[in-house]
């Protein structure tokens, strides 16, 4: 309770209040007013206001509040009581009816003030006063040590001793002397100690009479001489004229009022009734009325009779003289006005200074114009239609004929580096923006230029040839491909170390280079032997590129060496093929599907995600998407951001009706993988055993070569090098073989696929 207020305690209590919680969060005191309101889930058992609440009790955020008003579950509170901080609280925070230290302090100070010595009472925090406004040394609430003021108190049979003021209604006998003023009334009194005189002075007088309160007072009054004036007499009073000193004039004196009864110059014009008729013979005007008798400006036009004849010579100014005319004079007052105007030419009149209307009439017989400011005639306009340096005409369809249209000229061509720069151009319809960020050009089809949909992409037909044998740009095939004229080679043909097949005859160059000498033939066995080593090396190279099936992404190849870019492995857990980019594994797929998502904007969107117009939920591979706005391809990382696979963000705010489309591709997944289980030992090679079928050919015997054999299960086999027949006497002949036999013969006898030439 407030200092000096001995009323009820400041806060009420309840033993049945149910713990509840906040329905929504409330801010800290620094974020809002200290007095605020909030909603709790329940107020079951709460006492009448005021009472104490605690939020987040027994935590670091504990705050004590006083509830000052309540409407259902909405409570108005004073926050941060008992030096607690008005901190922020979350929705669902515990709210509990409680008792704080201040409650006990207030109760104790109230008890201590009930007549006990104040020096023993509990003081306030400043150690100065308690609830009754007393401080140390002031004594009890009702004591003798200190002067105290009792306000709004009812005293029953009190004995009041001392000095001071007593206000209010006092019931009972007052014994003793009262020094000071007494206001109010007393039911009875014996007498006044000092008598006082009653006396009336002024217009009504009465002699002084002494009064001491023991008897009634009677005053005899009279009117002082000369105190009644005319204003004191009522308008309806009838005082006989005989009571008036001097001559009196009344309404009954009609006909008897003479000049001797009226003072000179006392009757003025206002004293004469408007209906009074005084004969002019009674007026002495000296025989005539002069200008002195007439005030200036008193005679107006209505004072002059219509028959009066005043000569113009009597007027100071001749009103008929045109030199004296001012203002507007109508044409009717000028006898020759029409004649003079009609005989004057328009070119003799002053030029007009404003617009000239001819009242919807035609100007006829007008000459053709010759100067810039001349009016245009119909003939001149007709002559100019379709003429050089003239004006364009319209055909039957209301359009300008193409023969009169100049070549289209583009006002401006801008080169910009982004979509934002293009939208900021001060462009007019028909102007072109070249976008260096996407290597595309756009033309403005409608205003304003700041709207992306008004820019239309200029399409160019795709090149018929994209590349030549992997070469792009200015391709030069000189020295790469055979020179050909009419189907005949026009230059030397270099076969390098490769054999020519399906030839009708063996060339000398091939025989010299391939067949070689007997020494070369002898070395063929060594070459066949080394082929196995080459095959092994080839497999090792293949093994470094395809790592086989793995349950986890490998970090090195099958030999323990660093991964090479382009290496592949099959993930047996994901059932997907992955390729090494040089820094990370990326998924690839054999069924690369294309997905298209379409969103129609309602206005203001800067991102799109979730279901599209067709109910398909957005999903894409980052870096494998294309985003189009109203048909225009946007630039990744410049016009939008696509990083998480489920949303497109960082868009410029869309306009209602804009259409955003996202096209994305699935990853490549290798349909048929080469399984490591196909290889059992070093030197194994894979060959086709039939259509879409693979088989393993084990490594052959050292010195064997790979030989084609259509009868074998795999179409090839390892075979020994055939021994050559005797070379004696076969100088200048050719060795022929069909795979099973070999013989020397002349060139004319060659008919088999393989030919060997013996030089000597």
Please spell the DSSP secondary structure of 335-381, one letter per residue.
TTHHHHHHHS-GGGSPPPSS----TTPPP-SPPPP-STTSPPPHHHH
Pairing of strands 74-81, 204-211: unpaired
Q: How far apart are the first and last CA of the chain?
A: 136
Which of 174-183, 278-287, 340-349, 391-400 has the largest mean confidence? 391-400
pTM exceeds 0.85: no
Q: How confident is the model at residue 694 (pLDDT cuts 50, 70, 90)?
A: confident
Percent of the chain residues past pLDDT 70, beyond the cut: 67
CB 433 within 8 A of CB 425: yes
CB 66 within 8 A of CB 59: no
CB 429 within 8 A of CB 414: no
727: CB partners within 8 A, 6+ apart = 518, 744, 758
What is the pLDDT, as a whole number, of residue 141? 62
Each residue of 160-174: pLDDT tens digit? 766 666 666 666 677
User: Which among 131, 99, 121, 125 is positioned nearest to 11, based on CA atoms?
Assistant: 99
User: Which among 435, 481, 501 is positioned nearest to 638, based on CA atoms?
Assistant: 435
pLDDT at 479 over 80: no
Each residue of 538-572: pLDDT tens digit? 567 777 887 888 889 999 998 889 998 888 888 88
What is the pLDDT, as a whole number, of residue 95? 93
Strand order in the sheet with 754-757: 742-745, 734-737, 754-757
What is the rounded distance in angstroms from the CA atom of residue 477 to the CA atom of residue 487?
Answer: 18
Q: How confident is the model at residue 345 (pLDDT cuts 50, 70, 90)?
A: confident
CB 425 within 8 A of CB 442: no
What is the rounded distance in angstroms from the CA atom of residue 734 to the CA atom of residue 756?
Answer: 5
**Integer angstrom CA distances of residue 335 from 170, 330, 348, 391, 756:** 110, 11, 21, 53, 143
- Beta-bridge partner residues of 456: 443
Each residue of 252-264: pLDDT tens digit? 666 667 776 777 7
Each residue of 286-339: pLDDT tens digit? 667 777 777 787 788 888 887 877 887 788 787 777 777 777 777 777 777 777
CB 564 within 8 A of CB 546: no
Q: Cβ of 541: how many Cβ atoms within 10 Å?
A: 10
- The C-alpha angle with vertex 174 and arms to 169 and 179, in degrees rounded to 5, equals 90
Q: How confident is the model at residue 652 (pLDDT cuts 50, 70, 90)?
A: very high
User: Looking at 113-127, 230-244, 405-419, which range is the least confident one?
Assistant: 113-127
Q: Which residue has the tokens 């030992």?
A: 681
Long-range contacts of 109-115 (CB under 8 A, 24+ apart): 110/1, 110/6, 110/9, 113/6, 113/140, 113/141, 114/141, 115/140, 115/141, 115/142
Q: Per-residue pLDDT averaged across 238-254, rounded?
A: 66
CB 665 within 8 A of CB 622: no
User: Which among 601, 603, 594, 658 is positioned nearest to 631, based on CA atoms?
Assistant: 658
pLDDT at 472 over 80: no
3-state helix, strand, coil in the chain (%, to 5): 15, 20, 65
Q: How confident is the model at residue 731 (pLDDT cuts 50, 70, 90)?
A: low
CB 660 within 8 A of CB 654: yes
Q: Per-residue pLDDT averaged across 209-214, rounded?
A: 81
**Integer angstrom CA distances of residue 224 from 10, 200, 726:** 69, 11, 190
Q: How confident is the model at residue 93 (pLDDT cuts 50, 70, 90)?
A: very high
Q: How confident is the model at residue 511 (pLDDT cuts 50, 70, 90)?
A: very low
- Beta-bridge partner residues of 35: 78
Q: How confident is the model at residue 654 (pLDDT cuts 50, 70, 90)?
A: very high
Strand order in the sheet with 632-633: 594-600, 659-665, 625-629, 632-633
445: CB partners within 8 A, 6+ apart = 429, 454, 455, 456
Q: Which helix (H) or strand (E) holds 659?
A: strand 659-665
What is the pLDDT, as a whole number, of residue 310? 83
What is the pLDDT, as a whole number, of residue 517? 43
Average pLDDT, the chain: 75
CB 449 within 8 A of CB 469: no
- State whether residue 12 is helix, strand or coil: strand
Domain limits, the chain? 20-99, 413-457
DSSP letter at 462?
Answer: P
Residue with the larger pLDDT of the pair 114 and 212: 212
Percent of the chain residues past pLDDT 90, beyond the cut: 17
Q: How confident is the model at residue 602 (pLDDT cuts 50, 70, 90)?
A: very high
pLDDT at 503 over 60: no
109: CB partners within 8 A, 6+ apart = 121, 122, 123, 124, 130, 131
What is the rounded distance in angstroms from the CA atom of residue 54 to the CA atom of residue 11?
Answer: 13
Pairing of strands 488-489, 693-697: unpaired
User: Which among 734, 701, 187 is positioned nearest to 507, based on CA atoms?
Assistant: 734
User: Which among 575, 576, 577 is positioned nearest to 566, based on CA atoms?
Assistant: 577
What is the rounded distance in angstroms from the CA atom of residue 514 to the CA atom of residue 500?
Answer: 11
DSSP letter at 514?
Answer: I
What is the rounded distance in angstroms from the CA atom of residue 205 to the CA atom of residue 232?
Answer: 17
- Beta-bridge partner residues of 687: 695
What is the rounded distance in angstroms from the CA atom of residue 626 to the CA atom of residue 566?
Answer: 25
State yes or no: cis peptide before 50, omega within 30 of 0: yes
Q: Per-residue pLDDT averaged across 356-372, rounded?
A: 85
Phi-psi group of 184: left, alpha or beta (phi > 0 → left; psi -120 to 50 → alpha; rest → beta): left
pLDDT at 705 over 60: yes
State yes or no: cis peptide before 396, omega within 30 of 0: no
Q: Per-residue pLDDT averaged across 122-143, rounded?
A: 57
pLDDT at 443 over 60: yes
What is the pLDDT, as a whole number, of residue 607? 95
204: CB partners within 8 A, 6+ apart = 221, 222, 223, 224
Q: How confident is the model at residue 7 (pLDDT cuts 50, 70, 90)?
A: very low
Residue with the larger pLDDT of the pair 723 and 423: 423
31: CB partners within 8 A, 6+ apart = 88
What is the rounded distance in angstroms from the CA atom of residue 172 to the CA atom of residue 18?
Answer: 53
User: Which among 479, 477, 503 is positioned nearest to 491, based on CA atoms?
Assistant: 479
- Beta-bridge partner residues of 743: 736
User: Looking at 76-80, 107-111, 233-237, which range is the least confident one?
Assistant: 107-111
User: Looking at 96-100, 105-109, 455-459, 540-544, which range is the least confident one?
Assistant: 105-109
For residue 182, give both structure tokens. Answer: 């007494």
pLDDT at 518 over 70: no
Each residue of 25-83: pLDDT tens digit? 988 876 555 568 889 999 999 998 998 999 999 998 899 988 989 999 999 998 888 88
């Amino acid at each position: 309770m407030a200092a000096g207020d001995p009323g009820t305690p400041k806060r009420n209590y309840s033993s049945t209040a149910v713990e509840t919680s906040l329905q929504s969060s409330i801010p800290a005191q620094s974020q809002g007013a200290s007095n605020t309101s909030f909603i709790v889930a329940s107020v079951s058992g709460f006492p009448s206001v005021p009472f104490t609440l605690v939020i987040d009790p027994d935590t670091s955020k504990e705050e004590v509040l006083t509830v000052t008003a309540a409407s259902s579950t909405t409570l108005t509170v004073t926050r941060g009581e008992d030096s607690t901080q008005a901190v922020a609280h979350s929705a669902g925070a515990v709210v509990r009816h409680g008792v704080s230290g201040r409650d006990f302090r207030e109760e104790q100070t109230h008890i201590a003030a009930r007549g006990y010595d104040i020096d023993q009472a509990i003081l306030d925090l400043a150690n100065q006063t308690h609830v009754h406004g007393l401080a140390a040394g002031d004594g009890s609430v009702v004591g003798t040590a200190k002067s105290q003021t009792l306000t709004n108190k009812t005293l029953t049979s009190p004995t009041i001793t001392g000095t001071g003021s007593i206000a209010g209604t006092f019931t009972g006998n007052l014994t003793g002397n009262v020094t000071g003023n007494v206001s109010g009334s007393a039911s009875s009194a014996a007498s006044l100690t000092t008598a006082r005189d009653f006396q009336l002075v002024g217009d009504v007088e009465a002699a002084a009479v002494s009064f001491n309160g023991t008897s009634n007072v009677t005053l005899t009054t009279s009117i002082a001489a000369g105190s009644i004036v005319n204003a004191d007499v009522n308008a309806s009073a009838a005082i006989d004229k005989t009571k008036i000193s001097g001559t009196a004039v009344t309404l009954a004196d009609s006909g008897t009022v003479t000049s001797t009864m009226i003072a000179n110059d006392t009757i003025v014009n206002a004293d004469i009734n408007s209906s009074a008729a005084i004969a002019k013979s009674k007026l002495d005007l000296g025989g005539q009325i002069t200008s002195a008798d007439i005030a200036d400006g008193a005679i107006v036009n209505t004072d002059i009779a219509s028959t009066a004849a005043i000569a113009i010579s009597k007027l100071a100014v001749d009103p008929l003289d045109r030199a004296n005319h001012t203002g507007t004079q109508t044409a009717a007052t000028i006898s020759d006005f029409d004649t003079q105007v009609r005989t004057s030419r328009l070119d003799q009149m002053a030029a007009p200074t404003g617009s000239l209307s001819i009242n919807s009439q035609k100007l006829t017989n007008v000459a053709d114009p010759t100067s810039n400011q001349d009016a245009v005639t119909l003939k001149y306009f007709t002559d100019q239609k379709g003429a050089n340096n003239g004006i364009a005409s319209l055909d039957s369809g209301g359009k300008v004929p193409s023969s009169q249209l100049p070549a289209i000229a583009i006002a401006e061509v801008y080169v910009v580096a982004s979509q934002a720069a293009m939208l900021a151009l001060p462009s007019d319809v028909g102007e072109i923006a070249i976008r260096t960020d996407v290597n595309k050009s756009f033309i403005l089809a409608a205003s304003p230029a700041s709207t992306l949909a008004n820019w239309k992409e200029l399409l160019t037909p795709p090149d018929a040839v994209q590349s030549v044998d992997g070469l792009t740009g200015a391709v030069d095939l000189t020295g790469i491909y055979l020179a050909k004229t009419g189907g005949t080679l026009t230059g030397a043909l270099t076969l390098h170390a490769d054999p020519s097949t399906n030839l009708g005859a063996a060339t000398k160059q091939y025989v010299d280079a391939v067949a070689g000498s007997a020494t070369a033939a002898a070395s063929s066995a060594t070459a066949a032997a080394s082929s196995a080593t080459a095959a092994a090396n080839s497999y090792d190279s293949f093994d470094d590129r395809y790592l086989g099936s793995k349950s986890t992404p490998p970090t090195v190849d099958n030999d323990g060496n660093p991964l090479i870019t382009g290496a592949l492995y099959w993930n047996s857990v994901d059932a997907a093929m992955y390729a090494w980019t040089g820094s990370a594994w990326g998924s690839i797929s054999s069924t690369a599907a294309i997905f298209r998502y379409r969103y129609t904007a309602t206005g203001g969107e800067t991102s799109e995600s979730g279901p599209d117009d067709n109910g398909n939920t957005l999903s894409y591979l980052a870096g494998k998407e294309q985003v189009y706005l109203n048909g225009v391809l946007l630039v990744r990382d410049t016009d939008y951001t696509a990083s998480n696979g489920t949303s497109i963000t960082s868009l410029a705010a869309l306009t209602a009706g804009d259409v955003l489309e996202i096209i994305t591709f699935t990853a490549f997944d290798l349909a048929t993988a080469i399984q490591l289980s196909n290889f059992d030992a070093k030197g194994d090679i894979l060959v086709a055993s039939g259509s879409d079928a693979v088989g393993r050919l084990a490594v052959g015997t050292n010195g064997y070569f790979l030989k084609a054999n259509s009868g074998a299960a795999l179409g090839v086999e390892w075979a020994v090098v055939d021994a050559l027949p005797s070379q004696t006497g076969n100088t200048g002949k050719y060795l022929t073989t069909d795979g099973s036999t070999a013989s020397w013969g002349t060139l004319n006898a060659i008919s088999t696929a393989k030919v060997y030439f013996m030089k000597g």
